[in-house]
Amino acid sequence: MLIGALVQNLEYFRPLEVIMALYQFSQPAEWEPHKSCWLAWPSHEDLWGEILDEVQREFVALCTAIADPDPATGFSRGEHLEILVPDAKQLKIAQKALVGLSVHFHLIPFGDIWIRDTAPVFMKDSQGKVTAFCFGFNGWGGKYELPHDSEVSAQVAQASGCPSVSIPWILEGGSIEVDGEGTCLTSRQCLLNPNRNPHMGEAEIEKGLQETYGVQKVIWLNDGLLNDHTDGHIDTIARFAAPGLALCMEANEADDPNRQVMLEIAKDLEAAVDAQGRKLTVVRVPSPGKITDEDGRIMPASYLNFYISNKSVIVPTYGSPYDADAVAIIAKCFPSKRTVGRSAKAILEGGGAFHCITQQVPV
């Protein structure tokens, strides 16, 4: 109880580095066992407009794949879902849509569904205790400052029942990818962007990641996908499938808007060495190609924005000719899990896909 109380009120203790060293926090790799998964029910008509129904259908398909209910018994074989709903009206709608799944609903207002970035990041200490890390959030560099989003992290932390830590700098969960053995991937376009932490340079950011995520090695990539609202979040350009095994994308069409960026990402990953001294094995997944919205604008479509649940890997698909090939290649990287593709084209209209709208809590 004493340790929990100290951690929960960490913002009152100085220096922060000393407490972080004492507890030795780290984020488990996403393929390690989860207690639950947090999401937020798509419900804002002013944001989604006429595609809201389709967004909700894609959301339900994702939740079903994560929960993986047994058709014979109805019991979940996958993960328990913790889902935010903004009000009583949307609660009823969500309950009807997600009937039969293992769900706990929370009446917590939110700006939009990008819970990977607005919710806490759940870490474990050296004793295995889970703690919610509440980083600062500024609407992806001030671009999308929606009501309540800056409050979501603290409210989810409280609802989770975990002790919490307030971290006094800006970081979104989708900007960091860990291998569980001391290495993380991130991008300079996002973490070194002056719209996040202009007072922190690369060395200071690395120190912050070492203290909070418990990593020893930061592998820096440069730029993200064209028109990515997040300024190059790593979960759309490079992911770990196992320690020492990284995935990136490659273009198969001449007009792929991210051809050069993806070539540079693959080159940088193939030259990288992780915290254990290993050169990375790099698997290239086909890019979806040029995916556009109704107005012809290029969208940041990525097969790498998959979510790794306890039983499955759920890969976003976009109606591209490369959907099936991408799912098959990703499946080979996760031989112990079921890999499935599910449509995310409507969700992508909001700027992201499955990884962007999920946040796991480790066991």
Q: Count structural domains, the chain.
A: 1
The answer to whether 68 and 311 are in contact (CB under 8 A) is yes
Identify the domain containing residue 186 by its residue range: 2-362
Write the CB contacts of 122 (distance below 8 Å, at least 6 apart in sequence). 27, 130, 131, 132, 133, 160, 162, 359, 360, 361, 362
How sure is the predictor about 238, in pLDDT bands with cuts at 50, 70 and 90? very high
Burial of residue 54 (number of CB atoms within 10 Å: 0-12, 13-18, 19+): middle
pTM: 0.93
Q: Residue 58 belongs to a domain with what CATH number?
A: 3.75.10.10
How sure is the predictor about 288, in pLDDT bands with cuts at 50, 70 and 90? very high
Q: How many CB atoms lie within 10 A of CB 53?
A: 10
Handedness of CA 72, 336, 232, 182 (dihedral sign): positive
Query: How many percent of the chain have pLDDT more than 90?
Result: 88
How sure is the predictor about 20, in pLDDT bands with cuts at 50, 70 and 90? low
Write the CB contacts of 180 (distance below 8 Å, at least 6 apart in sequence). 26, 27, 28, 29, 31, 32, 243
The one catalytic residue among 162, 248, 333, 356:
356
C-alpha torsion angle, residues 31, 238, 137, 228 (rounded to 10): -140
At residue 22, the pLDDT reads: 59
At residue 71, the pLDDT reads: 73
- pLDDT (tens digit per residue) in 29-75: 999 999 999 999 999 999 999 999 999 999 999 999 999 987 766 66
Write the CB contacts of 318 (distance below 8 Å, at least 6 apart in sequence). 288, 291, 301, 343, 344, 345, 348
At residue 216, the pLDDT reads: 96
Compute the average pLDDT of residues 292-307.
95
pLDDT value at 150 more than 70: yes
Q: What span, in angstroms and rounded, lies between the C-alpha atoms of 314 and 317?
A: 10
Least confident of 70-84, 85-99, 151-165, 271-285: 70-84
pLDDT value at 270 more than 90: yes
The answer to whether 217 and 182 are in contact (CB under 8 A) is yes
pLDDT value at 244 more than 50: yes
Look up tokens 């990375």; give the residue: 280
At residue 24, the pLDDT reads: 85
The total number of residues shown for the chain amounts to 363
- pLDDT (tens digit per residue) in 62-113: 999 999 987 766 667 789 999 999 999 999 999 999 999 999 999 999 999 9
At residue 3, the pLDDT reads: 37
Verify whether residue 184 is a known catalytic residue.
no
Average pLDDT, the chain: 93
